[in-house]
Structure 1
Amino acid sequence: MPVRYASPYPIGFAHNTSSRGRRRPQRHKDVLHTQGGHRANDFRCTSCRLDVSLDAPGTAHRNHCPNCLASLHVDRRIPGDREADCRGRMEALGMSVRPDGEWMIIHQCISCGELSANRIAGDDNPLALVRLALRPIADPKHASRALLTL
Protein backbone atom coordinates (compact mmCIF):
# COMPACT_ATOMS: atom_id res chain seq x y z
CA MET A 1 0.00 0.00 0.00
CA PRO A 2 1.54 3.38 -0.99
CA VAL A 3 2.24 5.94 1.71
CA ARG A 4 0.01 9.00 1.53
CA TYR A 5 1.33 12.38 2.52
CA ALA A 6 -0.68 15.29 3.80
CA SER A 7 -1.70 17.57 0.96
CA PRO A 8 -2.55 21.25 1.22
CA TYR A 9 -5.41 20.59 -1.23
CA PRO A 10 -8.83 19.25 -0.22
CA ILE A 11 -9.65 15.62 -1.06
CA GLY A 12 -10.70 15.28 -4.68
CA PHE A 13 -9.18 18.63 -5.68
CA ALA A 14 -7.64 18.35 -9.15
CA HIS A 15 -4.66 20.61 -9.62
CA ASN A 16 -2.19 21.10 -12.42
CA THR A 17 1.00 19.19 -11.62
CA SER A 18 3.11 20.68 -14.40
CA SER A 19 5.44 23.42 -13.22
CA ARG A 20 4.75 25.53 -16.30
CA GLY A 21 1.07 26.19 -15.62
CA ARG A 22 1.27 26.53 -11.86
CA ARG A 23 1.73 29.94 -10.23
CA ARG A 24 2.45 30.45 -6.58
CA PRO A 25 0.58 33.21 -4.80
CA GLN A 26 2.77 36.22 -4.14
CA ARG A 27 3.37 37.50 -0.66
CA HIS A 28 2.14 40.96 0.28
CA LYS A 29 4.84 43.57 -0.25
CA ASP A 30 5.00 46.70 1.87
CA VAL A 31 6.50 48.99 -0.74
CA LEU A 32 5.69 52.63 -1.33
CA HIS A 33 5.59 53.49 -5.03
CA THR A 34 6.04 56.80 -6.76
CA GLN A 35 3.80 58.00 -9.59
CA GLY A 36 5.80 56.09 -12.19
CA GLY A 37 5.17 52.80 -10.38
CA HIS A 38 8.77 52.47 -9.22
CA ARG A 39 9.79 51.92 -5.63
CA ALA A 40 10.48 55.17 -3.85
CA ASN A 41 13.81 54.50 -2.10
CA ASP A 42 15.28 51.30 -3.52
CA PHE A 43 15.43 48.89 -6.44
CA ARG A 44 16.13 45.19 -6.90
CA CYS A 45 19.20 44.21 -8.91
CA THR A 46 18.26 42.26 -12.04
CA SER A 47 21.45 40.22 -11.84
CA CYS A 48 21.98 39.20 -8.18
CA ARG A 49 18.48 40.19 -6.85
CA LEU A 50 19.91 42.36 -4.04
CA ASP A 51 17.63 45.12 -2.73
CA VAL A 52 19.67 48.28 -3.31
CA SER A 53 19.06 51.64 -1.64
CA LEU A 54 19.05 54.67 -3.91
CA ASP A 55 20.89 56.63 -1.23
CA ALA A 56 24.48 55.95 -2.26
CA PRO A 57 27.48 57.73 -0.79
CA GLY A 58 29.51 59.59 -3.40
CA THR A 59 26.91 59.75 -6.16
CA ALA A 60 23.67 61.62 -6.73
CA HIS A 61 22.08 59.08 -9.09
CA ARG A 62 22.45 55.43 -8.08
CA ASN A 63 22.06 53.24 -11.14
CA HIS A 64 24.12 50.12 -10.47
CA CYS A 65 24.23 47.35 -7.89
CA PRO A 66 26.99 47.78 -5.29
CA ASN A 67 27.36 44.00 -5.02
CA CYS A 68 27.74 42.78 -8.63
CA LEU A 69 28.06 46.19 -10.39
CA ALA A 70 25.28 45.34 -12.89
CA SER A 71 23.06 48.20 -14.04
CA LEU A 72 19.92 48.94 -16.02
CA HIS A 73 19.81 51.04 -19.17
CA VAL A 74 17.70 53.87 -17.74
CA ASP A 75 19.59 57.09 -18.57
CA ARG A 76 19.79 58.46 -22.10
CA ARG A 77 22.28 61.35 -22.12
CA ILE A 78 22.38 63.03 -18.72
CA PRO A 79 22.94 61.02 -15.50
CA GLY A 80 19.62 60.79 -13.68
CA ASP A 81 17.38 61.72 -16.64
CA ARG A 82 15.82 58.20 -16.71
CA GLU A 83 14.71 58.74 -20.33
CA ALA A 84 16.14 55.63 -22.02
CA ASP A 85 13.52 53.49 -23.73
CA CYS A 86 15.60 50.30 -23.74
CA ARG A 87 15.51 49.35 -20.01
CA GLY A 88 17.88 46.46 -20.79
CA ARG A 89 20.38 44.96 -18.35
CA MET A 90 23.85 46.49 -18.52
CA GLU A 91 26.93 44.37 -17.84
CA ALA A 92 30.06 45.88 -16.29
CA LEU A 93 32.84 45.55 -18.90
CA GLY A 94 35.75 47.36 -17.33
CA MET A 95 37.06 50.43 -15.56
CA SER A 96 38.21 53.85 -16.65
CA VAL A 97 39.91 56.59 -14.65
CA ARG A 98 39.21 60.30 -15.06
CA PRO A 99 42.11 62.78 -15.10
CA ASP A 100 41.19 63.76 -11.53
CA GLY A 101 41.63 60.11 -10.41
CA GLU A 102 37.95 59.19 -10.09
CA TRP A 103 37.09 55.62 -11.14
CA MET A 104 34.32 54.99 -13.66
CA ILE A 105 32.58 51.69 -14.45
CA ILE A 106 32.09 51.03 -18.17
CA HIS A 107 28.76 49.28 -18.81
CA GLN A 108 27.39 47.78 -22.03
CA CYS A 109 23.67 47.21 -22.56
CA ILE A 110 22.95 43.58 -23.38
CA SER A 111 19.80 44.55 -25.33
CA CYS A 112 20.97 47.43 -27.55
CA GLY A 113 24.78 47.38 -27.14
CA GLU A 114 25.13 51.00 -25.99
CA LEU A 115 28.15 51.82 -23.80
CA SER A 116 28.03 54.13 -20.79
CA ALA A 117 30.37 55.26 -18.04
CA ASN A 118 29.10 55.46 -14.46
CA ARG A 119 30.77 56.86 -11.36
CA ILE A 120 31.55 54.35 -8.65
CA ALA A 121 29.76 54.80 -5.33
CA GLY A 122 31.21 54.70 -1.84
CA ASP A 123 29.45 51.45 -0.96
CA ASP A 124 30.48 49.49 -4.09
CA ASN A 125 32.04 46.09 -3.42
CA PRO A 126 35.83 46.75 -3.44
CA LEU A 127 36.61 43.17 -4.50
CA ALA A 128 34.24 43.43 -7.48
CA LEU A 129 35.85 46.76 -8.46
CA VAL A 130 39.37 45.30 -8.33
CA ARG A 131 38.28 42.22 -10.31
CA LEU A 132 36.80 44.50 -12.93
CA ALA A 133 39.95 46.66 -13.04
CA LEU A 134 42.17 43.57 -13.44
CA ARG A 135 40.00 41.89 -16.08
CA PRO A 136 42.04 43.18 -19.07
CA ILE A 137 45.22 41.79 -17.49
CA ALA A 138 43.64 38.43 -16.67
CA ASP A 139 41.97 38.10 -20.10
CA PRO A 140 43.74 40.20 -22.77
CA LYS A 141 41.17 39.28 -25.45
CA HIS A 142 38.27 40.60 -23.34
CA ALA A 143 38.49 44.14 -24.74
CA SER A 144 38.61 42.99 -28.37
CA ARG A 145 35.59 40.71 -27.83
CA ALA A 146 33.66 43.62 -26.34
CA LEU A 147 34.54 45.85 -29.28
CA LEU A 148 33.49 43.19 -31.78
CA THR A 149 30.00 43.09 -30.25
CA LEU A 150 29.43 46.75 -31.09
Structure 2
Amino acid sequence: MPRRSNPAPRRRAQRPKDVLHGPGGAPGDAFRCLGCRLEVPLAAPGTAHRNHCPHCLTSRHVDHRVPGDRAADCGGRMRALCLTTRQNGEWLLVHQCLACGELSTNRTAGDDNARALVRLAVRPLADTSRPVRALLTL
Protein backbone atom coordinates (compact mmCIF):
# COMPACT_ATOMS: atom_id res chain seq x y z
CA MET A 1 0.00 0.00 0.00
CA PRO A 2 1.59 3.30 -1.03
CA ARG A 3 2.10 5.98 1.56
CA ARG A 4 0.28 9.20 1.10
CA SER A 5 2.29 12.29 1.45
CA ASN A 6 0.57 14.94 3.51
CA PRO A 7 0.41 18.26 1.76
CA ALA A 8 1.86 21.24 3.59
CA PRO A 9 -0.69 22.57 6.07
CA ARG A 10 -2.39 25.72 4.93
CA ARG A 11 -2.20 28.70 7.20
CA ARG A 12 -5.53 30.24 7.87
CA ALA A 13 -5.93 33.97 7.76
CA GLN A 14 -6.07 35.57 11.16
CA ARG A 15 -9.56 36.42 12.36
CA PRO A 16 -10.36 40.07 12.96
CA LYS A 17 -10.34 40.87 16.66
CA ASP A 18 -12.80 43.40 17.97
CA VAL A 19 -12.18 42.75 21.67
CA LEU A 20 -9.83 45.64 22.30
CA HIS A 21 -11.51 48.17 20.03
CA GLY A 22 -15.05 48.42 18.85
CA PRO A 23 -16.23 49.70 15.49
CA GLY A 24 -14.53 52.90 14.41
CA GLY A 25 -11.81 52.63 17.10
CA ALA A 26 -14.24 53.02 20.02
CA PRO A 27 -13.05 51.49 23.29
CA GLY A 28 -14.11 47.89 23.75
CA ASP A 29 -15.30 46.11 26.85
CA ALA A 30 -11.89 44.61 27.76
CA PHE A 31 -8.18 45.38 27.77
CA ARG A 32 -5.03 43.30 27.54
CA CYS A 33 -2.86 43.17 30.68
CA LEU A 34 0.66 44.57 30.29
CA GLY A 35 2.02 41.95 32.71
CA CYS A 36 0.47 38.56 31.92
CA ARG A 37 -1.12 39.48 28.54
CA LEU A 38 -4.54 38.07 29.50
CA GLU A 39 -7.73 39.83 28.44
CA VAL A 40 -9.33 41.64 31.36
CA PRO A 41 -12.99 42.72 31.35
CA LEU A 42 -13.67 46.33 32.29
CA ALA A 43 -16.58 45.37 34.52
CA ALA A 44 -15.35 44.58 38.02
CA PRO A 45 -17.27 43.73 41.18
CA GLY A 46 -16.60 46.27 43.92
CA THR A 47 -15.18 49.09 41.81
CA ALA A 48 -16.48 51.32 39.04
CA HIS A 49 -13.16 51.87 37.22
CA ARG A 50 -11.00 48.78 36.71
CA ASN A 51 -7.45 49.54 35.71
CA HIS A 52 -5.56 46.53 37.08
CA CYS A 53 -5.42 42.88 36.12
CA PRO A 54 -7.22 40.57 38.57
CA HIS A 55 -4.72 37.77 37.84
CA CYS A 56 -1.29 39.39 38.31
CA LEU A 57 -2.41 42.77 39.80
CA THR A 58 -0.41 44.73 37.21
CA SER A 59 -1.90 48.10 36.28
CA ARG A 60 -1.41 50.76 33.64
CA HIS A 61 -0.75 54.41 34.40
CA VAL A 62 -3.93 55.90 32.93
CA ASP A 63 -5.53 57.95 35.73
CA HIS A 64 -4.13 61.31 36.79
CA ARG A 65 -5.85 62.51 39.96
CA VAL A 66 -9.39 61.17 39.99
CA PRO A 67 -10.04 57.44 39.53
CA GLY A 68 -11.52 56.88 36.10
CA ASP A 69 -10.43 60.23 34.62
CA ARG A 70 -7.97 58.52 32.22
CA ALA A 71 -6.02 61.80 32.02
CA ALA A 72 -2.46 60.55 32.59
CA ASP A 73 -0.11 60.96 29.65
CA CYS A 74 2.37 58.31 30.82
CA GLY A 75 0.60 55.02 30.02
CA GLY A 76 3.45 53.06 31.65
CA ARG A 77 3.25 49.69 33.37
CA MET A 78 2.54 49.83 37.10
CA ARG A 79 3.57 47.03 39.41
CA ALA A 80 1.83 46.27 42.68
CA LEU A 81 4.11 47.11 45.61
CA CYS A 82 2.00 46.38 48.66
CA LEU A 83 -1.44 46.59 50.22
CA THR A 84 -2.88 49.17 52.55
CA THR A 85 -6.26 49.51 54.19
CA ARG A 86 -8.78 52.29 54.73
CA GLN A 87 -10.41 53.08 58.06
CA ASN A 88 -13.39 50.89 57.10
CA GLY A 89 -11.14 47.86 56.41
CA GLU A 90 -11.23 48.07 52.60
CA TRP A 91 -8.02 46.86 50.93
CA LEU A 92 -6.17 49.12 48.49
CA LEU A 93 -3.36 48.16 46.12
CA VAL A 94 -0.36 50.49 46.04
CA HIS A 95 1.11 50.65 42.53
CA GLN A 96 4.31 52.28 41.29
CA CYS A 97 4.74 53.30 37.66
CA LEU A 98 7.86 51.75 36.16
CA ALA A 99 8.11 54.58 33.61
CA CYS A 100 7.74 57.73 35.72
CA GLY A 101 7.89 56.40 39.31
CA GLU A 102 4.53 57.83 40.45
CA LEU A 103 2.70 56.02 43.25
CA SER A 104 -1.05 55.49 43.26
CA THR A 105 -3.65 53.42 45.07
CA ASN A 106 -6.39 51.31 43.51
CA ARG A 107 -9.34 49.62 45.16
CA THR A 108 -9.23 45.86 45.07
CA ALA A 109 -11.99 44.20 43.08
CA GLY A 110 -14.07 41.21 44.08
CA ASP A 111 -12.54 38.99 41.40
CA ASP A 112 -8.88 39.76 42.21
CA ASN A 113 -6.63 36.74 42.69
CA ALA A 114 -6.74 36.04 46.43
CA ARG A 115 -3.37 34.27 46.38
CA ALA A 116 -1.67 37.27 44.75
CA LEU A 117 -3.27 39.62 47.31
CA VAL A 118 -2.12 37.51 50.27
CA ARG A 119 1.37 37.24 48.73
CA LEU A 120 1.55 41.05 48.72
CA ALA A 121 0.18 41.27 52.26
CA VAL A 122 2.79 38.93 53.76
CA ARG A 123 5.75 40.26 51.73
CA PRO A 124 7.04 42.37 54.67
CA LEU A 125 7.14 39.25 56.84
CA ALA A 126 9.37 37.50 54.30
CA ASP A 127 11.91 40.35 54.33
CA THR A 128 14.86 39.11 56.39
CA SER A 129 16.43 42.56 56.71
CA ARG A 130 13.81 43.60 59.28
CA PRO A 131 13.21 41.68 62.50
CA VAL A 132 9.84 39.98 62.43
CA ARG A 133 9.18 40.93 66.06
CA ALA A 134 9.36 44.61 65.19
CA LEU A 135 6.83 44.14 62.38
CA LEU A 136 4.44 42.14 64.54
CA THR A 137 4.37 44.83 67.25
CA LEU A 138 3.16 47.47 64.77
Sort the TM-score into its range (normalised by shorter chain): 0.7 to 0.9
Which residue is 1:74 aligned to? 62
Would you say the 8 A contact 2:42–2:50 is kept in 1?
yes
In structure 2, distance between residues paired with 1:30 and 1:107: 29
Equivalent-residue separation in structure 2 for 1:141 and 1:108 (angstroms)? 22
Query: Could you tell me which amino acid in structure 1 is paired with residue 51 of structure 2?
Result: N
Contact residue 78 and residue 98 of structure 2 kept, 8 A = yes
Uncovered stretches (5+) of structure 2, i.e. residues with no partner: 1-5, 131-138
Q: 1:63 aligned to 2:22?
A: no
What's 2:94 paired with?
106
1:52 matched residue in structure 2: 40
Q: Distance in 1 between matches of 2:99 and 2:60?
A: 10
Aligned residues between the structures: 122
Contact 2:18 2:28 in 1 (8 A): no
Query: What's the CA shift for 1:27?
Result: 3.9
Identity %: 61
88 and 102 in structure 1: CA distance in 2 versus 1, 3 angstrom threshold: same
Structure-1-length-normalised TM-score: 0.73
For the residue of structure 2 that corresponds to 1:81, the secondary structure is coil
How do residues 126-141 of structure 1 correspond to structure 2 at under 5 angstroms? 126-139=114-127
CA-based RMSD of the aligned residues comes to: 2.3
TM-score (norm 2): 0.79
